Structure 1
């Protein structure tokens, strides 16, 4: 397949995801009152603004600089190593999703208080008995789930091909 559609999908998904993350975070900071979060869907979802120095579930809050450096390395790895090797449009979309998620939260760590590499990530989607998260987290999680599902499906396909090849060799 030509690289043009693959690059277009990867860049397009990345830009849309990154922009959606940054716009929703700006709106959350501007309009949400942390003391009075609005609730929706019978309390299943609320918009509770927090500034998260850590990773998921606020774990690693003492390692914000390390998380920032890991995000930089991950984004560079995706752009320099993975992107040139993508051969399917669907894989380009998933890589774009992952990169948008990484870049969205990295932007917060680089540009928000208390300072570069130590910035707190804006989170605002709250589900009862779960983490408070943002659009970047949704993109990252969705990309990770798709990678796992594709890996499982591909391993089953490979096993079926091997079985068929073994049976065909036995019939000869």
Structure 2
């Protein structure tokens, strides 16, 4: 028996009890949203006249486009579908992130939540109208595609998710009521 007033359940040991990390997950998501929206503001200001800025020759460049579709401009006539999918993604990520006690999963869900939330914001509040807004893309990758900071966060979160899943790292503390 421990002498402190912790909320350990039977079967937990003090070294294994970890607090939920949802606050940190939300902080990471907020940082992604701020970076993404700030960079989009910069892109709309610096690149609005059709100006292209080479970063690494033609391999990486800054060029402003408004994307009504998904990655690679898929589904450009179905913007409202991507709005619904982004909203569902935000809710699902929050549900999965709620019990997180692993730092790796905290970062993963923070990246995914930030990327999905900022894309949802674009879809809801940008032109041409509510629920049909176009995502601001400005980072050109050769002739492959043009993306943004949120896309980078989503990609990094997806890769991290795969690594954590393959390594068998749990999202949260196992329920001690199960035998």
Q: Which runs of 5+ in 1 are unaligned?
A: 156-172
How do 1:20-169 and structure 2 match up within 5 A? 20-33=35-48, 35-79=50-94, 81-154=95-168
Using the alignment, how far apart are the partners of 2:19 and 2:143 within structure 1?
46
| Paired residues, number | 152
Question: Do residues 16 (structure 1) and 34 (structure 2) align?
Answer: no
Root-mean-square deviation (CA), in Å?
1.4
3-state SS in 2 of match to 1:119: coil
Q: Which runs of 5+ in 2 are unaligned?
A: 1-17, 170-179
CA contact (8 A) 2:105 2:164 kept: no
TM-score (norm 1): 0.83
3-state SS in 1 of match to 2:136: strand
CA contact (8 A) 2:40 2:137 kept: yes
Deviation at 1:21, TM superposition (A): 0.4
Instruction: Pick which of 15-24 and 37-46 moved more.
Output: 37-46
Deviation at 1:34, TM superposition (A): 5.4
The runs of at least 4 aligned residues of structure 1 exceeding 3 Å deviation read none
Using the alignment, how far apart are the partners of 1:74 and 1:127 within structure 2?
26
Deviation at 1:33, TM superposition (A): 3.8
Question: Do residues 2 (structure 1) and 19 (structure 2) align?
Answer: yes
Deviation at 1:38, TM superposition (A): 0.9
Using the alignment, how far apart are the partners of 1:65 and 1:118 within structure 2?
5
Using the alignment, how far apart are the partners of 1:7 and 1:76 within structure 2?
14
